[in-house]
Chains A and B, each alone.
Chain A
Amino acid sequence: MTATQDTRDVVVDIQDLHISFATDAGTVRAVSGASLQVKSGEVLAIVGESGSGKTVTARSILGLLPDTALTSGAVLLTRKDGSDTHDVTTLQGKNLRDIRGRDAAMVFQEPSTVLNPVFTVGWQIAEGLRAHTQMSASDAREKAIDILRRVGIPDPEHRIDHYPHQFSGGQKQRIVIAQAISLDPGLIIADEPTTALDVTVQAEILDLLRQIPKEFGAAVVLITHNMGVVADLADTVAVMYKGEIVEQADVHTLFAAPKHEYTRALLDAVPRLGGRRFRDRVIVSEADAAFEPVDVDPSATPVVAAQDLRIVYRGRLRQPDFTAVDGVSLEIRPGEVLGLVGESGSGKTTIGRAIAGLTPVSGGSLNVLGVEMLGVKERTFRPIRRRIGFVFQDPATSFNPLLTIAQCVAEPLVVHGISSSAQEARRRVDELLEAVQLPKAFGDRFPHELSGGQRQRASLARALALDPELLIADEPTSALDVSVQARVLDLFARLQAELGFACLFISHDLAVVDLLAHRIAVLHNGVLVEEGTGDEVLGAPKHPYTQRLLASLPVPDPVEQAARRETWRNLRAAD
């Protein structure tokens, strides 16, 4: 590195960083030869999929790596006033603690796990202040109130004495950001700061993060897998793949003319609103010949018909009841994919569970494959169950860790008396594994031996074991990396076209739903606010909530996103 006159402005300078971890199975390389510079007032995004080394690189700036990490290279972190520069990799003990929070501070992914549940938020902010300065308790409190106000917590004088669980998810992330900026660091490291949040909340937090360089004069290192967030926030982008920085460019260049093959693949895999949909696919290859989209017959008897559906969770002792679904009417016809979109708590999962007979219906009418679910007896519904498949969100927890994949996939066959044992069902299991493009040999493996994407395919195989007429998929790809998600969605679309099952596809991601669904229904606080084809709902949304939801979604294109941001600001101002 040659020193230029610009050096004074560099907040952090990572030089040829190598990080590896000593594990039982030998040394695992996490980062190989990464070099990065972040200048003051700049937002640098590090993008990559899980295991790419982006988080490890960012954590090395604060020396927050586990004891098993072996580091070489240099991480030069400069204090905000330029008075001091340290190589973080050589710091230990008190010297390391001194720079943490003061020279660089971190914003984490999941705000609800990052705030200590048994201390007030004021205490938690003040503690960082008092760890680094000689501030008195009352001064620290004043400062904490001031910071809470600046990050947009209303009524901070009172709220400072509240506990984390008394705040919403978005407010918690504001508090975490307040903690990070409280010591006026020169650098904020934001590790997936909006991944755990709903889209509309994400837009608010991105808006706040965008102000950090201007308002607080700190540079930002943003770690994310979401290209929309990158397009919204970043000035420059570093793409990491298998521990290496494969491409580094300013945001406009990167999106307009990605150079590296991996960057192009990554951008291609991102589902886009109004992009090419699976069902509109033009046949370009022989493999696509088998891919014939299902035509939905609008006059056919619906597989699922809900009329004014109400689902109420009874409150526990002295608690009010909670209405999760409030007067929803919808229909799914044979061979149709209905995309159900909504944010957390909107009731989308509850509807899916009610259709599968897992949650009782409280009012209205819900007809599933000819059976009325209001007050249904388990005995009546049991024969219907085998005609319904269910794919769960998290492939890591939806498999029994003690059974092999083949046993898991065979389970519905055994339970419904089609095969007497998992061995007998093996031939069918092999067919199913083949259908989801998994090698037969995977049947003898245990769930933990598969990657997330492979597990979710196995999960799909299990759901399809009984050749269901209706498949309920609850966020089937939200735990997966973008490129893996793209492959699973593609597989899903092919299988749906081939087998022609009806499907309720539940997701929070508008772009994913748009890719697959014939029709889209938007839920908000248990109420169905809008329903129609993708073009109707996403092209010309009528309901203000849908409009806000759409405007909140960051698109992977910095130019378009800048325009959308304005739309979002106007919508928010109109509220």
Chain B
Amino acid sequence: MTSTITGAPTGVAPGQPSPAPEARKKKQGGGLGGYLLVRFLLIFPTIFILVSTVFLLMRTTGDPITAALGGRLPADQLAERVHAAGYDRPLFTQYVEYMGQIARGDFGHTISDNRPVTEVLTTYGTATLELAFYALIVAFAIGIPLGRYAASRRDKGPDAGLRIGAVLAYATPVFFIGILLKLVFSVWLDWLPVAGRASTGAEIAMQHDGLQTGFYTIDAISTGNPQILRDVLEHAVLPAIALGLLTGGIFLRLVRTNVIGTLSTGYVEAARSRGVNERRLLRKHAWRPALVPIITVIGLQVALMLSGAVLTETTFEWKGLGFQLIQYVKARDYVAVQGMVVMLAVIVALTNFVVDIIAALVDPRIRF
């Protein structure tokens, strides 16, 4: 272990009180491992509260069977089916049962098409995650370099232009951008496919020769056929750009604001006074301290991105969770909707955990 001058864990020399009680407090506490353990354990109560809230909200509007089939069946038949499904029991009993099921990984069966909800989640969830992954790449590729560039040219021409561009990118509805992209790249130029995750031929080939992970990129690679991979990637380009552009605009402004903040700090000025060049000041000295708030907001954006994916998926007929969620909401299939909302909530909780890990790695002060 490191031996500090005083042997005290605080690293404060005797007779040199730390600047403030708050500061002294922060210096104590555990290391990275303990911090991450606490963050990890916090996932469970978060998910528990989320699932409970979703369950209770869904039940305030009545039981799922009446919601889905009410008015289409005679009252006695409806009551019979409600009874058979156990929805006439006390709410608390149902709640305990549901939580037990979820703990075992069983989300029940959809009402409208009687499929296991877990199967729906794995099939369409992977599609949504794949879309979100590509969209994030687009968003990073746009937001980070352009945000830093705008920060370095603060209030000059390029900065003003980029800020307007960013506002346009996130203020334009994603389906509008989607339709525009389709019009230009699919209809007029005929470079890229209009909709779907892959062409029918490729889908069949993947089902025959490839893995069945649901992530088409992985499945396509596993077939060993570059044509199929190319087909899958071509299908991903426009949806990823449509969704990524929206998020990228937000990233751009986020990066710009935070980097402007750190560019004007004492430590950047001090590094400048030692002869460090402007490029390095921007990319190193101002960038890393700016990352922590950026990462935190990016984590929140992932949640928004998943809900944004609903529109993107509908526009591009990308058969993902959002696309399917719309179908089930239309069918008033609350069991399915409930399962999907729970899954999205879990993804958000996990994303936040990942954000906490990255933030702790970037900023050595986060260890409380």
Contact = CB atoms under 8 A, between A and B. Distances in A.
A525 B25 contact: no
A106 B276 CA distance: 13
Contact of B15 (A119, A131, A548): A548
A115 to B, nearest CB: 6
Contacts of A345: 17-21, 24
Interface in A519-575: 525, 548, 575
B209 interface: no
B331 to A, nearest CB: 45
Contacts of B27: 165-166
Contact of A118 (B5, B26, B364): B364
Interface string A91-116: 00010011111100110101011111
Nearest to B11: A166
B270 A525 contact: no
B365 interface: yes
A105 B28 CA distance: 34
B interface secondary structure, majority: loop
Interface stretch (B111-119, B215-223, B261-269, B297-305): B261-269
A266 B169 CA distance: 58
B173 interface: no
A158 B273 CA distance: 27
Contact of B276 (A110, A128, A200, A525): A128
B266 A313 contact: no
Interface string B4-45: 110000011101111111011111111000100010000000
A346 interface: yes
Q: How large is the interface on A (under 10, 10 to 19, 20 to 34, 35 or more residues)?
A: 35 or more
A344 B19 contact: yes
Contacts of B270: 106, 108, 114-115, 176, 179
Nearest to A552: B15
Interface in A310-331: 313, 315-320, 322, 324
B368 interface: yes
Contacts of A101: 273-275
Contact of A198 (B17, B25, B288, B365): B17
B283 interface: no
A154 interface: yes
B362 interface: yes
A167 interface: yes
Given A155-B4, A165-B26, A315-B25, A131 B276 contact: yes
A319 B26 CA distance: 9
Contacts of B267: 113-117
B209 to A, nearest CB: 48
B28 A344 contact: no
B200 interface: no
A315 B289 CA distance: 26
Interface string B347-368: 0000000000000001111001
A271 B3 CA distance: 42
Contacts of B273: 62, 64, 100-101, 105-106
Given A62-B273, A168-B13, A176-B270, A119 B18 contact: no
Interface string A121-140: 00010011001100000000
B182 interface: no
A506 interface: no
Contacts of A155: 3-5
Contacts of A316: 25, 368
A171 B13 contact: yes
A163 interface: yes
Those 10 A-B pairs whose CB atoms lie nearest each other, nearest first: A113-B266, A101-B274, A345-B17, A100-B275, A128-B274, A154-B5, A116-B267, A101-B275, A163-B364, A97-B275
Given A116-B267, A127-B271, 10 more contacts: A97-B275, A154-B5, A158-B2, A166-B27, A168-B12, A179-B270, A179-B274, A198-B16, A316-B368, A344-B17
9 contacts: A101-B273, A113-B267, A116-B267, A117-B363, A155-B4, A169-B18, A170-B13, A319-B25, A344-B17
